[in-house]
């Protein structure tokens, strides 16, 4: 092992040579390239080919109609199943929790996950 008072050897990596490739010339750098200028040029070329037409009419969404339909049909289906099950308090709690879970899951999927269609 190491003797007391001895310092451990220092390990240093060998420096790698660095070669500059394609260094910019001083006379070519007059102004930096700006993203706004590139985007303006691209937009000008695109508009010269075909003018930009925006459809500003609001699209009628069927999401609310589908949400209400699925909410009513799904909850009614769960209630019908609960009606035909025995009147056990444990099964009632299971049915009510299924109603809540179905409603929350449907709301999350329809309003947070899915987009307008």
Neighbours of 92 (CB within 10 A): 13
Calpha distance 114→96 (Å, rounded): 26
The C-alpha torsion from 23 through 25 and 30 to 31, rounded to 10°, is: -10
The answer to whether 74 and 106 have CB atoms below 8 angstroms apart is: yes
66: pLDDT strictly greater than 80:
yes
Structure-token match 């699209």, residue found? 59
Higher pLDDT, 5 or 43: 43
Collect all residues with Cβ–Cβ distance below 8 Å to 102 and sequence separation of at least 6: 74, 75, 78
Runs of H (alpha helix) within the chain: 35-49, 63-84, 89-108
pTM above 0.75, yes or no: no
Whether 71 shows a pLDDT value over 80: the answer reads yes
Is the pLDDT at 23 greater than 80? The verdict is: no
Q: What is the pLDDT of residue 16?
A: 87
pLDDT, tens only, 90-110 = 999 999 999 999 999 999 999
Q: Choose among 103, 116, 22: nearest CA to 68.
A: 103
Q: How confident is the model at residue 52 (pLDDT cuts 50, 70, 90)?
A: low
């Amino acid at each position: 092992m190491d003797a007391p008072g001895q310092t451990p050897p220092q390990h240093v990596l060998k420096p790698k040579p660095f070669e500059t490739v394609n260094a910019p010339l001083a006379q070519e750098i007059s102004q930096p390239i700006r993203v706004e200028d590139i985007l303006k040029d691209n937009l000008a070329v695109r508009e010269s080919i075909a003018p930009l037409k925006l459809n500003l009419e609001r699209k009628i969404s069927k999401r609310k109609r589908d949400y209400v339909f699925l909410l009513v049909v799904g909850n009614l289906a769960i209630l019908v199943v609960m009606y035909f099950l025995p009147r056990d308090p444990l099964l009632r709690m299971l049915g009510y929790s299924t109603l809540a879970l179905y409603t929350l899951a449907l709301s999350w999927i329809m309003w947070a996950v899915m987009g307008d269609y």
